[in-house]
Structure 1
Amino acid sequence: MDLLNGQQLLRKNETVVSANQALEDKKIIGLYFSAHWCPPCKLFTPILADFYGDLISNGEPFEIVFISSDKSPEELKTYMKESHGDWLAVQHGTVLAQDLKAKFQVTGIPTLIILSQDGDVITKNGRSEVTDKGTPVFQKWLAASK
């Protein structure tokens, strides 16, 4: 995906990884726009963490990249450790985070945008699809990515 090409992302354990390496074999990428202070985010994040865990434990080619609207790097890290799955994050306060919000016209959180490996938008309604359909929706996303 072009916007993430060459970028450094953060893991839940605070290690920094290359986006190119972390995403190279992922066919579906979810961009998760959220913040710890947001009540709807607090409700959806555990659902997304379970969804992610189920797919990853089944070996599905899926990754989530969290883009934070938290007020500080510490809030981002705390939110990830307390509530998130073991997915990736854009580092706090970067131009990349602003660029992703602008590119995908994110005006509210939580928002989950589902992309193909090439960066094509499969759905901007990932949150409702995960909530309403659960893990079976992943196969629909895979089919749409071909």
Structure 2
Amino acid sequence: MEILKGNFLVNANEETVIANEIIRSSEMIGLYFSASWCPPCRSLLPLLKATYKEARSRGAKLEVVFVPSDSDDQQMMRFFVDNHGPWFAVPVGPLTAAVRRKMQIHAIPQLVVVNNRGEVVRRNGRADLEGHEDPLSLWFPRLNRGAAGEN
């Protein structure tokens, strides 16, 4: 997650936090590429929020970072505050474009799951959310429900 280190993220209360703190305290980070003007992005949010909540209840250290494709910071913040979960956003600006380039994002919505070292764990987290009964087991193998009874 070198690209985010040293940069500030914002939460839904419009408070800033340095990305290093978020990265250090997380096992996995879901980079959610989305925009306020994108209807499919809005429809993916309930699945992402439910998975985030489930991760917390299962003790998985998942954080989500919204990487907007919006060009207006105020419009992005309204969308973020009104629709997103209790996670963080990259403010509109050059960093958002740099993260999109680094993660090779050409369409939205997209969810890329990376570990706290910045290694891609799942490139198509959106498909995981929409098509897998337990996407967390794909991102956190220790949470695999099938393996739980084998110990």
TM (norm. structure 1) is: 0.90
Q: How many Å separate the matches in 1 of 2:46 and 2:36?
A: 12
Unaligned runs of 5+ in 1: none
**How far did residue 104 of structure 1 move?**
1.2
Q: How does 1:1-146 map to 2 (within 5 A)?
A: 1-93=1-93, 95-134=94-133, 136-143=134-141
* Cα distance, 1:12 vs structure 2: 0.9
Percent identity of the aligned residues? 35
Mean Cα deviation higher: 109-118 or 21-30: 21-30
Aligned length: 142
Q: 1:92, CA displacement in angstroms? A: 1.0
For 1:57 and 1:19, how far apart are their aligned partners in 2? 23
In the alignment, the residues of structure 2 paired with residue 71 and residue 109 of structure 1 have an alpha-carbon distance, to the nearest angstrom, of: 14
CA 1:57 to 1:77, structure 2 compared with 1: closer, same or farther past 3 Å? farther
- What is the DSSP-based 3-state SS (H/G/I as helix, E as strand, rest coil) of the residue aligned with 2:3? helix
Find the aligned partners of 2:89 and 2:18 in 1 and give their Cα distance: 11
TM-score if structure 2 supplies the norm length?
0.87
**Which shifted more, 101-110 or 48-57?**
48-57
- AA aligned to 1:137 is P
Equivalent residue letter for 1:80:
F
Describe the SS at the equivalent of 2:140.
Answer: helix
Aligned to 2:145: none
8 A contact 2:27–2:62 mirrored in 1: yes
**Matched AA of 2:76:** L
